[in-house]
Amino acid sequence: MSSSEQEIQQKSSDNQQEQVSNAEINAPKHDSATDAAQQDFTAAEQYKNKGNDLLKTKEFSKAIDMYSKAIELYPSSAIYYANRALAHLRQESFGLALQDGVSAVKTDPTYLKGYYRRAAAHMSLGKFKQALSDFEYVAKCRPNDKDAKLKFTECSKIVKMRAFERAIAVDKPEKSLAEMYRDMENITIEDDYKGPQLEDGKVTLKFMKDLMEHYKAQKRLHRKFAYKILCDIDVYMRAQPSLVDIKVPDEEKFTICGDIHGQFYDLMYIFEINGLPSEKNPYLFNGDFVDRGSFSVECIFTLFGFKLLYPNHFFLSRGNHESINMNQMYGFTGEVTAKYTSTMADIFTQVFNWLPLCHCINQKILVMHGGLFSSDNVTLDNIRRIERNCQPPEEGLMCELLWSDPQQWMGRGPSKRGVGIQFGPDVTEAFCKANKLDYIIRSHEVKDMGYEVAHNGQCITVFSAPNYCDTMGNMGAFITITGNNLKPNYTSFQAVPHPDVKPMAYANSLMNWLA
């Protein structure tokens, strides 16, 4: 049974008496003036129950619709807001989840699940202090509740760790990884290691083929070679611009992939059906290589290896999950620490800071992870000038490149995620016209077919992690173009089997309800 099913089942048993008492307290009295209100409450309960059933079967959008109908009929139930918040969390609409968590607490300050939902949304957004205050409140209300105490303790550890990291940070010239880890050359390769080895310190095609087979067999790359790949990627990425221009020659194919999210065996399937990367088969992977899926280490070393092997024919963009907040919560930091060391997890943080933010193909297609901007008149030169060697800020061009989403209606609006913005077809059209682009490609969102064409064909989403988190049932997809025909061609594909390691296996324990 999945964690979401367990939670809903637990919720059902926990809340049976609560719902009865709420019904007795909150339900309208039976008199002629309140019969209609009583009917609304009864209908609202039916919608809520349908929503709970849909949540169990992971039909999150339909569940949200049911909870919304319940709230429309009877907005005085904190349970409806809290349940809808959980569905929004499952869809990674953290901003909407936060709004519902706030509404649940306002509607009934004694309903403790409202505080949990609000805390979950804050955690998902990296706002740990705000989450801590909610966990603290629940722990005080339930002093004998071990789960409440555990959540408070774990969140408190994160807040203290962040404060310590800020306290020891000093302004000093940043050293390259090679300078920081010169003793890497002294790492011993054990006699019983039979895995792939770099040749004279370099990635070769043989090494990459051996590495992928090694990973398929659930074996690890030796730490000496892992450190070497990271050091070489660090040197290379530092020299790259924030916006990389790509020239695809006439007649030659070029492939754009979206989120991978640690789904290594699906990544291997892409290479199986579309061919291994090569100088004649170039790729661009558009961010969110890691987190959630529990084979993120295998994914990132495979991608970094191909980048070193084919630096001018294999491209990587940064996603919102190439950041310390996301990595610490959604599993990558835990996975690297489990498979290697916490030191290596810190190294990844530095390397991710240098990943380019977007790519422009043949001066006509702009590819970024998230989307467009809250400001008009943003140019490609503005993007080129972004100082990207940092953690993603909470606003501005870099934030919006990594976090924004398209919307169907005109204009701009607040983000359902709580970070970035939503932008309409008019915004996309104006941006493309001003920058002489045909269209943009972005990722960042699960789509049923693995892709979606919006904004009159000028905004295309591609997502390459099928059956995302083993729960969503979506297909993955990738896009191919040729240099003299930039019309996108779409290939959708189903998920393939993987070893029995669940998504989020290495995530922070506080995120278990999002598994």
Q: In sequence order, what are the beta bridge partners of 254?
A: 481
Q: What is the 3-state secondary structure (H, E, C) of 111-170?
A: CHHHHHHHHHHHHHCCCHHHHHHHHHHHHHHCCCCHHHHHHHHHHHHHHHHHHHHHHHCC
Rounded (10°) CA dihedral 74, 77, 80, 82: 150
Residues 6+ apart with CB under 8 A from 365: 437, 438, 439, 440, 441, 481, 486
Query: In the annotation, is 321 catalytic?
Result: yes
Which residue, 54, 103, 109, 62, is CA-closest to 80? 103
Cα separations in angstroms, 395 against 247, 401, 420: 31, 10, 7
Report phi then psi at 487, rounded to 5: -65, 125
What is the C-alpha to C-alpha distance for residues 13 and 89, in angstroms, rounded to an integer?
Answer: 21
Residue 28, classified by CB atoms within 10 Å of its CB into exposed (0-12), middle (13-18) or buried (19+), is middle
Q: How many Cβ atoms from other residues are within 10 Å of residue 92's Cβ?
A: 20
Question: Which residue is catalytic, options 321, 359, 455, 498?
Answer: 321
Rounded to whole angstroms, the Cα distance separating 191 from 25 reads 72
Catalytic amino acids? 321
